[in-house]
Structure 1
Amino acid sequence: MSIKPEEYVVDAWIALLRAKEHSLNFVEKSFKENGLPPFFWYDVLWELDKAGEKGLRPFEIEQGMLLPQYGLSRLLARMEKADYVERVPSPNDGRGHQVIITKLGKEVRQDMWKVYAKGIQSTIGENFNEDECRTIQTLLTRLYRR
Structure 2
Amino acid sequence: MRAHAQDCYGVTVDNTAAWAGLLRVHAALVPLLDQELQAAHGLPLTWYDVLLELDAAPEKRLTMTDLGAAAVVSRSRVSRVVDELVRAGLVEREPNPGDKRSAFAKLTPEGWARLAAAAPTYLAGIERHFTGRMTAAEATTVATALGKVLRAHEATVIRPIG
Q: TM class by shorter-chain length?
A: 0.7 to 0.9
Q: How far apart in 2 are the matches of 1:88 and 1:102?
A: 11
**SS of 1:93's equivalent?**
coil
Task: Name the TM-score, length of structure 1 as normaliser.
Answer: 0.88
Contact 2:41–2:118, Cα closer than 8 Å, also in 1: no
* Match for residue 147 of structure 2 among 116, 141, 144: 141
The correspondence of residues 49-60 of structure 1 with structure 2, limited to 5 A, is 49-53=55-59, 55-60=61-66
Shift in Å, 1:136:
1.0
* Range that drifts further, 54-63 or 123-132: 123-132
Task: Name the TM-score, length of structure 2 as normaliser.
Answer: 0.80
RMSD value over aligned CA atoms?
A: 1.8
Larger Rg: 2
Q: How far apart in 1 are the matches of 2:60 and 2:90?
A: 15
Q: How far apart in 2 are the matches of 1:43 and 1:26?
A: 15
Shift in Å, 1:69:
4.4
Contact 2:62–2:104, Cα closer than 8 Å, also in 1: yes
**SS of 1:88's equivalent?**
strand
Among all aligned residue pairs of Structure 1 and Structure 2, give the percentage whose two residues are the same amino acid. Answer: 26
Structure 1's consecutive aligned runs of 4 or more residues displaced over 3 angstroms after TM superposition are: none
- Do structure 1's residue 123 and structure 2's residue 135 form an aligned pair? no
Q: Which has the higher contact order (CA 8 A, sep 6+)?
A: 1
**SS of 2:144's equivalent?**
helix
How many residues are treated as equivalent by the alignment?
144
* Match for residue 70 of structure 1 among 59, 76, 94: 76
Structure 1 stretches lacking a partner, 5+ long: none
